[in-house]
A and B are shown apart, each in its own frame.
Chain A
Amino acid sequence: DTEVTQTPKHLVMGMTNKKSLKCEQHMGHRAMYWYKQKAKKPPELMFVYSYEKLSINESVPSRFSPECPNSSLLNLHLHALQPEDSALYLCASSPFGSGANVLTFGAGSRLTVL
């Protein structure tokens, strides 16, 4: 069982819908990440929260909106997505905020945009 929990596992949404992906970890990790992964490609970094503050935004379109309510939770709010946004969205955490350490991934949320 993964120590990073993501919900939902699967999500189908229309281009006008608003939905959210959720991620939770109770390992006391201080950095949390959102990655996007398309088939047969490596994960692509979207956002990094370090000590609950957004530290990296890799020029992600504003239709993706991250939120870190506390040190254990990370959300990704989705609005007006495009079909090309369909992908596996992976949450990860690491012990320290510096980024120079091991990532633990959640099982991912597989998103389909119709």
Chain B
Amino acid sequence: RKEVEQDPGPFNVPEGATVAFNCTYSNSASQSFFWYRQDCRKEPKLLMSVYSSGNEDGRFTAQLNRASQYISLLIRDSKLSDSATYLCVVISSGAGSYQLTFGKGTKLSVIP
């Protein structure tokens, strides 16, 4: 089983739709979780951290489910500008060091 898995998509949704992505992780000792957004031919940029209690930033909601070992990202009222690849990042610790693992990314296309 891969350490961090994401559905690669693409997810093609109309403007105004609600879309959700999941990201599963295999290491139950994983500690920190993030969603990054990467536009075509640009660098990844932090979208939001994911907290145990869940967190919301405008149209974006991130959730963590430790029991089932996945994080999710919900985007409401999709905009054309939301089109991008969404990368989940999981940080795990072990043997005195931290390991940061990227998922392969989920591509979202918001269509007019």
Are A42's CB and B46's CB within 8 A?
A: no
Please report the C-alpha to C-alpha distance between residue A105 and residue B41 in the assembled complex, in whole angstroms: 13
Are A99's CB and B97's CB within 8 A?
A: yes
In the complex, besides A99-B99, A100-B32, 11 extra interface pairs with C-beta distance below 8 angstroms are A42-B87, A42-B105, A43-B102, A100-B93, A102-B34, A102-B46, A103-B44, A104-B46, A105-B43, A105-B44, A110-B41
Are B100's CB and A45's CB within 8 A?
A: yes
Chain A 88-114 near chain B by CB (<8 Å), digits 1 or 0: 101000000011111111111010000
Residues in B neighbouring A99, C-beta threshold 8 A? 91, 97-100
Q: What distance in Å separates the Cβ of B103 from its nearest Cβ neighbour in chain A?
A: 7
8 closest A-B pairs by beta carbon, nearest first, are A99-B98, A42-B102, A105-B43, A100-B98, A107-B43, A108-B43, A100-B91, A42-B104
Are B31's CB and A105's CB within 8 A?
A: no
- The reply to whether the CB of A59 lies closer than 8 angstroms to some CB of chain B is no
- The reply to whether the CB of A70 lies closer than 8 angstroms to some CB of chain B is no
- The reply to whether the CB of B1 lies closer than 8 angstroms to some CB of chain A is no
Interface residues of A (CB under 8 A from B): 2, 41-43, 45, 56, 88, 90, 98-108, 110
Known: A41-B104, A42-B87, A42-B105. A98 touches B44 (CB 8 A): no
Range, interface on chain B: 20 to 34
Residues in A neighbouring B66, C-beta threshold 8 A? none
Known: A100-B91, A100-B93. A90 touches B103 (CB 8 A): no
Residues in A neighbouring B103, C-beta threshold 8 A? 42
Residues in A neighbouring B43, C-beta threshold 8 A? 2, 90, 105-108
